[in-house]
Chain A
Amino acid sequence: MSRTILINLLRFIILVFMQVFLLKNITLYNLSTPYLYILFILLLPFEIPNILLYVLAFVLGLTIDAFYDTPGLHAASCVLLAFVRILFISITVQKDGFDNEPEPTLSVMGFRWFFTYALILTLFHHFFLFNLEVFRFSEIPYTLSRFVMSSIFTVFLMLLSGFLFYRRKERK
């Protein structure tokens, strides 16, 4: 249990630092900006209580906001992300499978499930984030293209990190 907390704490710090000091400066063709930090919410354990999940998402969003100077923007997107995560997991994963599959990582859940999971959650998060940031309808085509390109970039980085920390599962 304490190991899970330690790992997640480390993951939180590393992802926030990466986002703020590295990924913040990366933009391809003024279109594609990765927001990899949401990987933290994606990788939280299955049996986490809903209230804790929301609090963590909210805190993560506010931390990113503090560095991006946009109070509330990332927090709102992260809370939406947490809600979609709960829905997605309740639809696709059986309740009794939690004992030997603690975390929804790529190595535990397999490529197909993880890819769908990451893609759908990222799409929701980015769509909400970009539209809330621009907050007007007149720039919809530009916002949408930014949303699509950034989502591709983010999911690509997520899969990359998934394979980087890939652990072959011992089947019982």
Chain B
Amino acid sequence: MRNLLVFITKYNAFFLFLIFEISSLVIYIKYNSFQKATFISSTSKITGNLYAQKDELVGYLNLREVNDSLAKENARLKNQLKTSFYIDTLAKKQITDTIFKQQYTYIEAKVVNNSINRSNNYITINRGSKQGVAKGMGVICSSGLVGKVVFVGEHFSVVQSLLHKDSRFSAMLAKNKEIGYIEWSDDLNPHKGFLKDVSNNAQPTIGEQVVTSQYSLFPAGIPIGKVSNLRTKNGGYSLNMEVALAVDFSKLQYVDVIVNKLAEEQAGLEAQQKKDE
């Protein structure tokens, strides 16, 4: 017994190392498989507030670009106003009132923390459950698709951006509506993605728009990027192509969280069907 104690004290560096290393590895494996720890993450009050303060400061530097993008979006929205169309029949107006009910609403949010240079990137935004954000909601910005909400705190939420190894969204070619899915490229380039599993008769062209499909958690037609290269990696029965992403993730400042009013009903029905099978 005494010899054992002497042994342990003599090599205490090694045994202490074992204890600390194992405990930190346990933390790592436990919390990262659930994506987020509730207590150590930027949703927690302290780090979230610090990031928000830093953002206050840095936000001024990008005002010009934000202004430009807002002006562009303003112009786009003005084009869609009722006043910029003339009404050709009376019936059309009635139909829009009764048949189209709003399915999507948008919560605007400010990005307080963002990363693009790791293999799994997350964005923290300053809206949480208090403002109606829930897990699984889609997130876009004025130039295109951003990601999906994975963790919600009271005042902040964490968004898993498209620049994440596990991110995968249903997408389609804008012209001929061929469905595939979009993924981040495997060399950690924040401006590049892959559109995969497009059927062989699609005949895509370079420069063609890639948008979200109607099967995703986004409204159909949100821009994702443009086809930049038709290189097929391991083709076979489907086409893969490179996509230049439309969103510049390094300059992300304002985003919109999409609330799909029918999502719950759809998810409920699909769960029911799974149970019946």
Residue in chain A with minimal CB distance to B37: A71
**Choice from B28, B117, B119, B186 contacting A71 with Cβ under 8 Å:** B28
Contact A83/B17 with A30-B189, A61-B24, A75-B27 known, Cβ cut-off 8 Å: yes
Which chain A positions have C-beta within 8 A of B27? 71-72, 75
Bound Cα distance from A26 to B16, whole angstroms = 34
**Choice from A57, A132, A133, A142 contacting B118 with Cβ under 8 Å:** A133
Residue in chain B with minimal CB distance to A66: B40
Which residues of chain B from 173 to 213 have any CB-CB distance to chain A below 8 Å in the complex? 186-190
Tell me how far the C-beta of A15 lies from the nearest C-beta in chain B, rounded to whole angstroms: 16
Which residues of chain A from 72 to 92 have any CB-CB distance to chain B below 8 Å in the complex? 72-73, 75-76, 79-80, 82-83, 86-87
Whether B118 lies near A50 (C-beta < 8 A) is no
Whether A66 lies near B44 (C-beta < 8 A) is yes
Contact A62/B40 with A54-B16, A76-B21 known, Cβ cut-off 8 Å: yes
Which chain A positions have C-beta within 8 A of B118? 68, 133
Bound Cα distance from A41 to B233, whole angstroms = 45
Number of A-B contacts (CB under 8 A): 88
Tell me how far the C-beta of A53 lies from the nearest C-beta in chain B, rounded to whole angstroms: 9
Whether B25 lies near A58 (C-beta < 8 A) is no
**Choice from B17, B26, B119 contacting A79 with Cβ under 8 Å:** B17
Residue in chain B with minimal CB distance to A50: B13
> Does B32 interact with chain A (Cβ within 8 Å)?
yes
Whether B117 lies near A30 (C-beta < 8 A) is yes
> Does A137 interact with chain B (Cβ within 8 Å)?
no
Which chain A positions have C-beta within 8 A of B186? 139
**Choice from A30, A50, A69 contacting B42 with Cβ under 8 Å:** A69
Whether B17 lies near A71 (C-beta < 8 A) is no
Whether B187 lies near A71 (C-beta < 8 A) is no
| Chain B interface size range | 35 or more
Which chain B positions have C-beta within 8 A of A72? 24-32
Whether B36 lies near A75 (C-beta < 8 A) is no
Residue in chain A with minimal CB distance to B118: A133
Tell me how far the C-beta of A153 lies from the nearest C-beta in chain B, rounded to whole angstroms: 13
Bound Cα distance from A134 to B32, whole angstroms = 12
Tell me how far the C-beta of B40 lies from the nearest C-beta in chain A, rounded to whole angstroms: 5
> Does B131 interact with chain A (Cβ within 8 Å)?
no
Whether B16 lies near A51 (C-beta < 8 A) is yes
Tell me how far the C-beta of A129 lies from the nearest C-beta in chain B, rounded to whole angstroms: 11
Residue in chain A with minimal CB distance to B34: A71
**Choice from B12, B16, B158 contacting A69 with Cβ under 8 Å:** B158
Which chain B positions have C-beta within 8 A of A163? none
Bound Cα distance from A54 to B17, whole angstroms = 7
Q: Which residues of A contact B (CB under 8 A)?
A: 21, 24, 27, 30, 33, 50-51, 54, 57-58, 61-62, 65-73, 75-76, 79-80, 82-83, 86-87, 132-134, 139, 142
Since A72-B28, A79-B17, A79-B21 are in contact, a sample of 17 more A-B pairs with Cβ atoms closer than 8 Å, ordered by chain A residue number, is A21-B54, A24-B115, A30-B117, A30-B190, A50-B12, A51-B16, A57-B20, A58-B20, A65-B40, A66-B40, A70-B32, A71-B37, A72-B30, A79-B20, A79-B24, A82-B20, A133-B119
